[in-house]
Structure 1
């Protein structure tokens, strides 16, 4: 064995090892001199020598020239193949052969696929050997460089393809995501995936009272499980993110610890110090909206992409833990990512702006709906807050259904959108009352105040007329004839009965008999006006209203009241609802339908014909109507009595019994301190995200409503 000089050559990416391996059986046929460019090895066991080289030079690219007899070529080729199969560097070995033998044996004995650089029958001089070895290594290295160039080109194509796929994927994700926090996580996730970054943060520009600040909004590190808290910082050049937000420049920093002292930016190492991390390379980009205004900053840290070992998933697969990891595995961000990530940042900024405007529109619409409901309810102070309370109870009931383990509800689950749909429908369920005469809503008794006052004035006038008629004839009441005294007593009785019958109680006795007994006096209790027109004891409209046996509304007025659901449907249907809210008009209109077909407006019958949301609303509506303490026509009913009424309605087939029991047992009626305010709903859902779940059993997996 001889020759140990300069057998390795190193470039920026790879180390090479060159060797000529000569079989002892042909050593006498070769003359050679040592070379600084390759090592010359003479061995009796070519296969063992190859194994030794592979072990000793495991991290090198191998260029090997075997000088052997033709008779050994087939066995060596087989041995090389078998040995290569266990060698992880098998794709980085480049081998050629110089064969010794008789010319007539070449065609018969040279194995197929063997890379033969020369064939000799006689000895080789030192000059010939040096020339031949030089050419062989030049050829082998050329082959390697061509393959390497092809591989690098393939890697670049794969990287570009992956980036293109990521851009398409991020475009889809950003367009679909509506939750602001999830949107930021999506932006940072794809930014790290594209660039192979180990960590990253997103900063948002905020404006409060005319002063702009930078908010540290979201951060994530693959190699360390770190918690973070939001904070704000001045929008100035004193931080890297602040500098980018102020200047709009893209910063691609190979190592933040080697920044020039005269650089306009400075790195704060406090995070690294406190968390045992090592920030090195950094790519920081501004997020610009459609009017070129900077609304945020994306800060990517520690690229782990390597041209030598590219997978496209370095961000997820490579973990940095040791000092060597931070020293050797972190690479500068490739320059091509500057333009690419600027495009991503711009796309992200537009998505954030669209998301912000969408949320603003939704919020404005919600506030408009709530303001409209408040305005409508102000027409009837007695029902103020009713729609908000009903909406709160409906949402609570729906959440109870989601969390219920009862078999009757195990195929039902309200999504966030369906909860919002139910909320809107409940808020608007009485909107049609704007078309109804408000006097009907505040009708506390069977006769309107003005009608009752007019009737009592007429009866008093009649009383005085009768009294005066006889006072002209008689000097004192005691001298009045019994007939006249009887008339006045009857008239007093009529006034008492009118006042009594005017109360909106549920009557179990025969109202008609009382009315008829009063009307029997009409022929003797009367007088005329100045035009000699007869003034009746009771007018037909008064008789009609006094005969009401339940509540304060007559049939015509009740029909007018009932028409509010149709007016609600007509009005709410004109709102251009998005597809997910298209059922709101129907849900709102059906809240007075009863399972036995006695409801209105269409007398629908059975659960299959009345939406679940409407059945929920029917219970909440009845509860609030009975529980309200400020209705002019009734006092608040105790809760236990309300529960009895709801259960009676369920037992008679009017209300959904399962929902009634869930409503009562789950305390969906208990809205807490915010009862009667529009804040109640924000304890349960915001415009997009469910905030609070009612504390019951864990929800089963179920199909949507």
Structure 2
């Protein structure tokens, strides 16, 4: 094997970041280098002092495998290699020399009909010379690489000392590549944990919408997944691996900015806050007393205030009564003039639908700008730098009437357009909102279609969502 081939393998291994891709490439390249029919990689867990059977390849068998662990001891071939940190070869595992303490477990051979014969094992170390893996190559063959072995006795030979030295010469670069890839995966897992913690933090402040983030993620992901597969609706739309990561992070963090909104506003179930309504009831009782209202008249007044405080649609008849109460002034028993409804109480009770005043609604809407500002504090990699902006696009409208940036169609990333559909659909159909009833799916789809007709949502995406019945796939 020439030095050029070795350098090509080294360069290839260094370029791999994904751990599974790297392990697959290590096995394939090293097997090809020494013409091994099969091979396996074990990863070492220093805390548990055990090896995890992580990956296997076999040219002669099409096999699936399950991960399992073995202790680092002298009872197995791989365990012995890890324990002694020793590279070695075995000519025939059914004829292991007496100087080795282990025996070969032939269960796999019995079940599969395979014949394991020659082996090459080598421990893999990181840059600090700590064990991180064991590489096991199986059955050096005389037939061409990639071909199946049919006659194990005659087509399988022993690994040579040159094979052992060749693999050892690459063990350093294998170790560095594995160490970097494991570190990269650990960082990814840590960041995934941060995202999950962020979602939990948001939902703990806004428990009314608990589950909304995950549902929007699932709906958005499914729409994008179907778009990626459909060459009729979206012939030019193709997702890369990094795109899926951007989509996941942006969608799961789309409401992250709610941590910057007052909890009382986020969770406002009635038009007046509890302390405000208690104060209003006391004023109503005092008003009834000083004006000698009958018990029935007082109860009617109180019922009007209770009804007006609900998030349901404020009917014109009740609205007129609130207008009338706003003008009522009276004096208490000490001669101090009071208003039955002060300016703030009147303003809040006059909300036609829902519980929020215009100012409170703007405060809620500010969560998307908070999302953008907070996420921009994270030092995203070059590949992920668009996550903060995409995460806050779900309230933008194609005609420029949305927020926070007032973007128009051509300025809105397609992930934002899809997320907007998913966000509205979930908000309409969610069954866990105490301040409103869930809208039936057919009505929700009608509303979404009307929004698309008004140039608020993307017509093509909405049509795709409805035609493919993607709402039934999540």
Deviates more, 1:257-266 or 1:338-347: 257-266
Residue from 415, 418, 421 that aligns with 2:246: 421
In 2, Cα distance between the equivalents of 1:642 and 1:318?
A: 57
In 1, Cα distance between the equivalents of 2:345 and 2:109?
A: 87
Give the C-alpha shift of residue 569 in structure 1.
Answer: 0.4
Deviations along 1:145-192, whole A, 9 cap, x unmatched?
Answer: xxxxxxxxxxxxxx3xx3x32332223322232333332221122212
Give the C-alpha shift of residue 437 in structure 1.
Answer: 1.1
Contact 2:24 2:55 in 1 (8 A): no
Secondary structure in 2 aligned to 1:199? strand
Give the C-alpha shift of residue 375 in structure 1.
Answer: 1.6
Contact 1:204 1:296 in 2 (8 A): yes
1:394 paired to 2:233:
no
In structure 2, relative to structure 1, the CA distance for the partners of 1:354 and 1:529 (3 Å cut) is: farther
Secondary structure in 1 aligned to 2:270? coil
Give the C-alpha shift of residue 534 in structure 1.
Answer: 1.1
Normalising by structure 2, report the TM-score: 0.87
In 1, Cα distance between the equivalents of 2:58 and 2:121?
A: 15
Residue from 53, 57, 68 that aligns with 1:219: 57
CA RMSD of aligned residues (A): 3.3
1:326 paired to 2:155:
yes
Contact 2:254 2:392 in 1 (8 A): yes
In structure 2, relative to structure 1, the CA distance for the partners of 1:340 and 1:654 (3 Å cut) is: same
Q: Which runs of 5+ in 1 are unaligned?
A: 1-158, 306-313, 468-483, 673-705
Equivalent pairs, count: 472
Contact 1:171 1:347 in 2 (8 A): yes
| Equivalent residue, structure 1, for 2:122 | 285
Residue from 293, 300, 305 that aligns with 1:498: 305
In structure 2, relative to structure 1, the CA distance for the partners of 1:227 and 1:428 (3 Å cut) is: closer
Deviations along 1:593-645, whole A, 9 cap, x unmatched?
Answer: 11122211222222x12111111111211122222223232122222222222
Contact 2:257 2:371 in 1 (8 A): yes
1:446 paired to 2:271:
yes
In 1, Cα distance between the equivalents of 2:339 and 2:106?
A: 98
Normalising by structure 1, report the TM-score: 0.60
Give the C-alpha shift of residue 226 in structure 1.
Answer: 4.8
1:568 paired to 2:371:
yes
| Equivalent residue, structure 2, for 1:244 | 81
1:339 paired to 2:339:
no
1:622 paired to 2:424:
yes
Contact 1:395 1:422 in 2 (8 A): yes
User: Which aligned pairs between 1:159-558 and structure 2 lie closer than 5 A?
Assistant: 159=1, 162=2, 164-195=3-34, 197-207=35-45, 210=48, 212-213=50-51, 215=53, 217-221=55-59, 224-227=60-63, 229-230=65-66, 232-233=69-70, 235-253=72-90, 260-262=97-99, 275=113, 277=115, 279-280=117-118, 282-303=119-140, 316=145, 321=150, 326=155, 330=157, 333-335=160-162, 337-407=163-233, 409-467=234-292, 494-507=301-314, 509=316, 513-519=320-326, 522=328, 526-528=330-332, 530=334, 532-558=335-361
Select the structure with the greater relative contact order (CA < 8 A; seq sep ≥ 6). Answer: 2
In structure 2, relative to structure 1, the CA distance for the partners of 1:211 and 1:322 (3 Å cut) is: closer
In structure 2, relative to structure 1, the CA distance for the partners of 1:232 and 1:566 (3 Å cut) is: closer
Secondary structure in 1 aligned to 2:205? coil
Secondary structure in 2 aligned to 1:290? coil
1:591 paired to 2:398:
no
Deviations along 1:625-675, whole A, 9 cap, x unmatched?
Answer: 222223232122222222222122122221122222333444444576xxx
Deviations along 1:508-542, whole A, 9 cap, x unmatched?
Answer: 7487654444445x3xx511463x43101321122
In 1, Cα distance between the equivalents of 2:360 and 2:373?
A: 20
Secondary structure in 2 aligned to 1:636? coil
Secondary structure in 2 aligned to 1:391? helix
Deviations along 1:265-305, whole A, 9 cap, x unmatched?
Answer: 7667787787465735x433221223323333223345568
In 1, Cα distance between the equivalents of 2:166 and 2:470?
A: 52
In structure 2, relative to structure 1, the CA distance for the partners of 1:603 and 1:491 (3 Å cut) is: farther
In 1, Cα distance between the equivalents of 2:268 and 2:279?
A: 16
Contact 1:283 1:301 in 2 (8 A): yes
Deviations along 1:285-340, whole A, 9 cap, x unmatched?
Answer: 221223323333223345568xxxxxxxx85388755589538xx475243x4333
Secondary structure in 2 aligned to 1:591? coil
In structure 2, relative to structure 1, the CA distance for the partners of 1:237 and 1:596 (3 Å cut) is: same
Deviates more, 1:339-348 or 1:564-573: 339-348
Contact 2:18 2:185 in 1 (8 A): no
Q: Which runs of 5+ in 2 are unaligned?
A: none
